[in-house]
Every structure is written in structure tokens, then in C-alpha cells.
Amino acid sequence: MISLQRIQILVEKLKSLKVLVVGDVILDTYLKGRVERISPEAPVPILEVEEEEFRLGGAGNVAKNLSFLGVKTFICGVIGKDEAGERVKQLLKESRIKAFLVEDKRPTTKKTRIVSRNQQLLRIDWEDKRKISGKTLKNILDIIRELEVDAIIVSDYAKGVITKEVIAEIKKSGVFFSIDPRPQNRELYKKGNLMTPNEKELIEMSNGKGENVETLGKILKDELKLDALIVTRGPKGMTLFLDKEIKHFPAKARKVYDVTGAGDTVIASITAFKLAGASWEECCEIGNLCAGIVVGEFGTASVTPEKLMQEIKSYEQTKN
């Protein structure tokens, strides 16, 4: 287990980093209330709404995780000229994230979750998944070209922002870039510094080749010519693939309450700490700890250095 002293050194270095998140910005809306009766109109529950909550999702949640860790954070994405887009701008501002958002004719991607007593009953999505083009694409490419940062995180939710042109521009910048992938865009990710698929995405991107995670991961890493591949595996932790070694890291969650946004936390924390000077092994330990913290909370959540250090203290006390 990584020591508290080591984390403190790395956390201090996070403050000097500048990271850009490029990808699909999503507004997460939660309608929370009580269900105590069934509708007389149809056999469906009636939710008596008590609270409406708005959070950053998708690339916005990746950026929020970076910002909460102390990294100077920028985000580049697409929103619509609508109320949801205005809400996204406000949430980014509140999270101290410098936003470069291009307004498009499409609606802002929005996911509304209907929740009763912390149990999700239904999700409603508003989205347009067509690839961006024309002036919208040009504006995104200009932003990537002009910003000077230490790294770029590609947060791909397959809502149209991540295209071959966008990836080409990111590669041209020459900075470290990591990818939270979607299987349908597999070929775009070649020669990335880091990719963090979950186990299901790994299987889909491998087209059924091989029989286990180790075989599939090695094949995928080699085919895409990645520097590092980290497969997130839920309760089984993470598996790290480097050029000549494969290592497993057990999960650190004490309780699993909600896995929403855990992948966002993993890509943000591992990228940030790698830039701060952590080894790949240390990054996996930290990523597991951060994921363990957020799955213990409801909805998309973020890790602060204080929460991370408290988690390590708890593990050290358990050992002693």
C-alpha cells in the first residue's frame, strides 16, 4: 500500500499541473422523492418529487475529479443553446474549471434519473449522437490547438465529440494523453499513453479474441500500440498491462453503494498522479482507492486529497 508520506508529496505536485479534458459533456439530473402508491391510469409507481439535483456527468465529471484533486483544469466540449447548457456552465464555474464549450444546434446531453429512497427507478436520456462537423468541429480543433497544457484526457461517451479529426489534433499537440474509451471508436485510440476500459469494454474491443482478461488485454495493448493499458474490473480491482508485465491490484471499496462515474474518477486520478511522478503501480493503487471512495457515495462523486489521505490513514490503522 502506498504510504501517506508519498501521497502528500504527490498531492503537492498536482497543484502545478494543467490538464485539458476533451469529450462529451453531460448534465446529470436527479429527481428524488417517495413512491407510496400506484397510478390509477396505468400499473406504474407515482413518484412524489421532493428534490431536484444537478451534477456534472461524462467529461464534466472527469474535469470535476481533476479540479477537486487540486489540478488546474480545462474542459472542451459541446453544449446546446438551452437551459441544460447554461446549467452545465454554472456547475463548471462552481467547480473552478475553465470551460471552452462550443454551442451547437443539438441539445445538451442530459440524463435524468428518477430515484426513490436512493433506488433508481428509471433513466431518461436527451441526446444527439451524430459526429460533430463544420464550424463546431473547427472550433473544437482550434481550442485544442491553442491551449497549452501538460496532458489531455479523452472522455469518450460516444455522443459525437470524439472524432478522428479531434484525436489527430490531440496527437499533434505531443502531450501525454489518456483515454476513457467506447468500443465503437476503438481505432481512434492508437498510440495513446494510457487507456482505461472496463472489463466489458475490453471484451467488446477485442472482438472475442482470447479467453481471459490477461490474454485480451495484452492483445489490445499491442494492437493499439498503447504505452499502458489499465482494465478496471469492479470488485476484482484493476489489471495493469505494460510492455513486459501484467499486474493485478485488488479493489479497495469498503462498500459499494453506486458505481456511477467510477470510471471518470479512475481516468482523472491515474492521469493526474502519473503526471505528478507516480509509478504505474502507484497510480493503480491510488486509482483503486479513489474508485473505492466514490462507489461508496450516491451518484457521480469526486475525491479530494483530504478524502484520499483519510482513506490511507484508515488502511494504515487497520494494519497496525
Neighbours of 273 (CB within 10 A): 28
CA dihedral sign, ordered 251, 189, 166, 103: negative
State the DSSP code for 107: P
Cα angle 237, 243, 246 (rounded to 5 degrees) comes to 30
180 in catalytic set: no
- Taking each helix axis as running N to C, give the angle between helix 262-275 and helix 59-69, from 0 to 180 degrees, rounded to the nearest 10: 50
CA distances from 216 to 94, 180, 199 (A): 41, 17, 10
> Parallel, antiparallel, or unpaired for β 151-155 and 72-80?
unpaired
Element housing 84 (H / E): helix 83-94
List beta partners, residue 74: 20, 98
Q: What are the grid coordinates assigned to 244, written together?
A: 513486459
What CA–CA distance (Å, rounded) separates 280 from 274?
7
Catalytic residue from among 104, 156, 180, 264 = 264
Q: What beta strand segments (E) does the chain contain? A: 18-23, 25-38, 45-58, 72-80, 97-104, 109-116, 119-126, 151-155, 176-180, 194-195, 228-232, 238-241, 246-249
Q: What are the grid coordinates assigned to 287, written together?
A: 486509482
- Taking each helix axis as running N to C, give the angle between helix 305-319 and helix 280-294, from 0 to 180 degrees, rounded to the nearest 10: 100
CA distances from 176 to 9, 29, 226, 275 (A): 21, 32, 12, 8
Q: Catalytic positions, please?
A: 264
